[in-house]
């Protein structure tokens, strides 16, 4: 049977918020360039839309980590599936994430990338579930704070499905 979806954040709201985030990032990185580290696969849609709206020079790299497998509960383990192609030494790095849940993935990535001597290192996430946090992690840019519900769409998946939905939805 097909899953029943309830829209939580519409395409219009996502697009409006991304424009605001891009304006804020462009102001904060004025006179510099920003190196976006897109965390595959979930952040790909968000990263592309955000990058197009940023007005300071942008460079991009991709990293793939796995903490979930096909489960909906964090295993607590983080494994690097694909590392960055290039050095980030001296770069103003902004990690682009789809959602922060327990915070374990980002805490791990901040530690790891922090050892590679970037000029600065910050996080931008489309979604944040603050109620679920088990690890302290400073997130500079947040698109939307959402309640503790499992969401799909706009890059987020359930068993690899629904990434292509243009909105964020809850499976009911
Ligand atoms: P954390 O390490 O617990 O913060 O997990 C973050 C990762 O878990 C995200 O990058 C997503 O891949 C996945 N995740 C957490 N919550 C959801 C959700 O509601 N829907 C889809 N994926 C989620
Ligand atoms: Mg993810």
Instruction: Kindly indicate the confidence band of residue 123, based on its pLDDT and cuts at 50, 70 and 90.
Output: very high
What would the DSSP string read from start to end of 118-139? Answer: -SEEEEEEEEE-GGG--S----
- Bridge partners of 132? none
Q: Quote the pTM value.
A: 0.94
The ligand 1 atom at the shortest distance from the C-alpha of residue 101 is 4
Kindly state if the Cβ of 102 falls inside 6 Å of ligand 1: yes
Q: What value does the mean pLDDT of the chain take?
A: 93
For residues 88 and 37, the answer to whether their CB atoms sit within 8 Å is: yes
38 CA → ligand 2 middle, Å: 10
How far is Cα 36 from Cα 54, in angstroms, rounded to an integer? 11
Residue range 8-48, pLDDT digits in tens: 999 999 999 999 999 999 999 999 999 999 999 999 999 99
Spatial CA neighbour of 151 closest among 165, 133, 138, 170? 170
Q: Domains, the chain, ranges and CATH?
A: 11-148 (3.40.50.2020)
Kindly state if the Cβ of 43 falls inside 6 Å of ligand 1: no
For residues 97 and 105, the answer to whether their CB atoms sit within 8 Å is: yes
Structure letter (DSSP) for residue 4 = P
Annotation says 101 is catalytic: yes
- Bridge partners of 55? none
pLDDT value of position 77: 65
pLDDT value of position 79: 85
Residue range 151-163, pLDDT digits in tens: 999 999 999 999 9
pLDDT value of position 46: 98
pLDDT value of position 3: 84
96 CA → ligand 1 middle, Å: 13
């Amino acid at each position: 049977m097909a899953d029943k979806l309830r829209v939580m954040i519409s395409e219009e709201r996502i697009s409006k918020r991304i424009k605001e985030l891009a304006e804020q990032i462009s102001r904060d990185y004025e006179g510099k360039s920003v190196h976006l580290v897109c965390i595959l696969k979930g952040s790909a849609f968000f990263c592309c839309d955000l990058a197009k709206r940023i007005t300071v020079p942008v460079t991009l790299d991709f990293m793939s980590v796995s903490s979930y497998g096909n489960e909906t509960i964090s295993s607590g383990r983080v494994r690097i599936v694909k590392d960055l192609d290039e050095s980030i030494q001296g770069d103003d790095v902004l990690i682009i994430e789809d959602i922060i849940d327990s915070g374990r993935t980002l805490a791990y990535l901040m530690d790891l990338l922090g050892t590679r001597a970037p000029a600065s290192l910050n996080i931008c996430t489309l979604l944040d579930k603050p109620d679920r946090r088990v690890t302290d992690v400073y997130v500079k840019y947040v698109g939307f704070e959402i309640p503790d519900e499992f969401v799909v769409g706009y890059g987020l998946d359930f068993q690899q499905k629904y990434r292509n939905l243009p909105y964020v939805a809850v499976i009911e």
